[in-house]
Structure 1
């Protein structure tokens, strides 16, 4: 009998679940994507590959089939696309864990911003689907940001600069899944850690090297962790505690918070999610703290670890990551750096088969190569990531 269901589309090469969950592998039904299925095949009694994992109905159908087949006692979720459907499945099958009312304000950016703003936290002015967006634009001016309420990885996020572009964006979207926001200039930071029952347990702040919309201009996305002496660290930690406390309390869970730092130094809430940060935030977090956040969270959900009781603290060195987006054209060669790999490069991840045709990037995490680098401090990490980016030109060959 497989009484534990795990929803997880991340490849085995990144998350070796059979090693992480060795005590209970014989009890697991793994529901994953068809792309990741071969890496997990034979490692659990039942592995179900789902096509169109992120948006299709296959995951929900697979959950219900597993619950009909066995007396399921636990359901694990990891990525943002599974937060709501896992919660809904727990409701349908009376399983322990978070329910839709718990997670919806962490997932629906409109409800999220309403709660955070009501707690007195500076939030961009926003307008939901029932608002008069023309009046909103007249009040707040351009540019404005248009985004889906339930999106992630910056898919569907657009900066509009005039009334015609705003009208076009609104017209081509599902009416209930639209959020319009004031554009906030400045640097963007992200804060990652764990929380439980409304209390923030750990805080690791980072600074994005380019904004999350950099992919729209063909620029890489990356971040570097802040030095412990940076004056922003305590300010970001306090803001994190206030934001977490403003949302429904959850069982032990990671969070990924994004914050604008305006040129005048004012911190403005962007959004938060009750899941691990994407890209290579997990690897950077693990190398700095010595704790793999994905492993800890998954094991905690299955009762194999005490997540809240696990100490998490940053070490002396700092880490950062970089995603290199695809160009328009055909990628015909992508080689490993081999002997050219510098000592500071802790991770080199090929993100695509080769050869392959691309028409650019469509989301912030679309990439051909991922790097993780370390350094003595934040500036050293940033310098090392630039060296990684420079190396990319020697590792790839494109045809137009």
Structure 2
């Protein structure tokens, strides 16, 4: 029996590893967060942890399991697992992404150090190690600037600093650890998602955001919509992504999620790239729009299994992520109204009676939808329609009225 170790920081419904590997002779050994353990409990080897992202018993257990089962590969699709999986591969002598590559895709400063002066425009940046660095950078480049953790995903912890008062407020707050400061880039943000297998880019496609990645901060929805091949930005974004992958120590097998701005003066500017699939409902949207399950194909590549990737046939589809509000969820639309006919897939991450504190990061959501339509414009209209329908058919109450945390 062959084994692969999987860092599984996703619900089973999203990543049914045993189903994907059925018939291959490969058994997944699962290391997961406590909240997902029950989903995987039917599998023979499941190890769950509290405080999964920071609990170093995860690494200790993974190393023991890797040796005990003589695993042939390590798979990890979550941002929190990129570096720990790379380090484990090195310790076990396994192929795949190693630490230097993982850091280049995880640490935003290391990433930009690789790309600065290359073929893709990179905003001025600096590693932020103290208030003195921030003051010096602002003296050189002026306001506004963006300060963000070097290794978080989903815009978590990012702050736009527009003037000295906002800088003072930021500096007075608790130190957030290793961070980056860069000039603020105005414009529309796009993302490009795809897959590398056998050292080649085997799938790549650009998407635009409806609203933007920071919409969660106002508890507003964010959506993703594929660009058509006829869109004038399509080739520019694909070319820029290929250039970024060529400049970075890209592993021979990886999914990727890149983000770029198109500025008001039509410059294409790099934001960041991750060696993983996109968050939210992006993978589900790609599956509906192109018939490709990026996570499954990436797993097959890591395991050395033959790809089931065919020739993609595009069908218009988009993804919608709706963050929670502040308060206790009293009603979800499932119990109150027939959902719009354009909905193709639904995922809820919370339940009635649960207390929430608004949006946390762009990739986390209360309700996720995949929506289709006859054209890109039709899908965009349907995404807005579903967001409004959800709002009209869900109900919240203030947390304080329930007498405690639900």
- Give me the TM-score of the superposition, normalised by structure 2: 0.91
Judged with a 3 Å threshold, the aligned counterparts in structure 2 of structure 1 residues 6 and 330 are, in CA distance, closer, same or farther, namely same
Aligned to 1:181: 182
Tell me which moved more, 159-168 or 284-293.
159-168
SS at the partner of 1:23?
coil
Aligned to 2:404: none
Aligned to 1:33: 33
| 1:333-352 equivalence runs, <5 A | 333-336=331-334, 340-352=338-350
Aligned to 2:387: 389
SS at the partner of 1:113?
helix
For the residues of structure 2 that align with 1:337 and 1:187, how far apart are their CA atoms?
36
5+ unaligned residues in a row in structure 1: which ranges? Answer: none
> Residues 21 and 27 of structure 2 are in contact (CA less than 8 Å); yes or no, is this contact kept in structure 1?
no
SS at the partner of 1:139?
helix
| 1:35-114 equivalence runs, <5 A | 35-43=35-43, 45-114=44-113
| 1:280-299 equivalence runs, <5 A | 280-299=281-300
SS at the partner of 1:53?
coil
C-alpha RMSD of matched pairs (Å)? 2.0
> Residues 199 and 244 of structure 1 are in contact (CA less than 8 Å); yes or no, is this contact kept in structure 2?
no
> Residues 218 and 359 of structure 2 are in contact (CA less than 8 Å); yes or no, is this contact kept in structure 1?
no
For the residues of structure 1 that align with 2:353 and 2:165, how far apart are their CA atoms?
39
Judged with a 3 Å threshold, the aligned counterparts in structure 2 of structure 1 residues 3 and 368 are, in CA distance, closer, same or farther, namely closer
For the residues of structure 2 that align with 1:12 and 1:67, how far apart are their CA atoms?
21
SS at the partner of 1:193?
strand
For the residues of structure 2 that align with 1:128 and 1:166, how far apart are their CA atoms?
16
| 1:233-382 equivalence runs, <5 A | 233-306=234-307, 310-315=309-314, 317-336=315-334, 340-382=338-380
For the residues of structure 2 that align with 1:327 and 1:101, how far apart are their CA atoms?
39
Judged with a 3 Å threshold, the aligned counterparts in structure 2 of structure 1 residues 312 and 282 are, in CA distance, closer, same or farther, namely farther
1:20 Cα deviation from its structure 2 partner: 0.7
Tell me which moved more, 246-255 or 329-338.
329-338
Residues 115-173 of structure 1 deviation map (CA, whole Å, 9 limit, x = unaligned): 11231321111111357221211232222111011111111111122234335435633
For the residues of structure 1 that align with 2:60 and 2:2, how far apart are their CA atoms?
17
SS at the partner of 1:87?
helix
Tell me which moved more, 99-108 or 24-33.
24-33
Aligned to 1:15: 15
Residues 253-303 of structure 1 deviation map (CA, whole Å, 9 limit, x = unaligned): 111010101112111100001110110100111111111111111122112
5+ unaligned residues in a row in structure 2: which ranges? Answer: 399-406
For the residues of structure 2 that align with 1:221 and 1:247, how far apart are their CA atoms?
29
Tell me which moved more, 380-389 or 341-350.
341-350
1:61 Cα deviation from its structure 2 partner: 2.1
- Give me the TM-score of the superposition, normalised by structure 1: 0.93
> Residues 197 and 250 of structure 1 are in contact (CA less than 8 Å); yes or no, is this contact kept in structure 2?
no
For the residues of structure 1 that align with 2:368 and 2:200, how far apart are their CA atoms?
32
For the residues of structure 2 that align with 1:61 and 1:364, how far apart are their CA atoms?
30
1:197 Cα deviation from its structure 2 partner: 6.8
Judged with a 3 Å threshold, the aligned counterparts in structure 2 of structure 1 residues 61 and 395 are, in CA distance, closer, same or farther, namely farther
Aligned residues between the structures: 395
For the residues of structure 1 that align with 2:338 and 2:24, how far apart are their CA atoms?
41
> Residues 2 and 29 of structure 1 are in contact (CA less than 8 Å); yes or no, is this contact kept in structure 2?
no
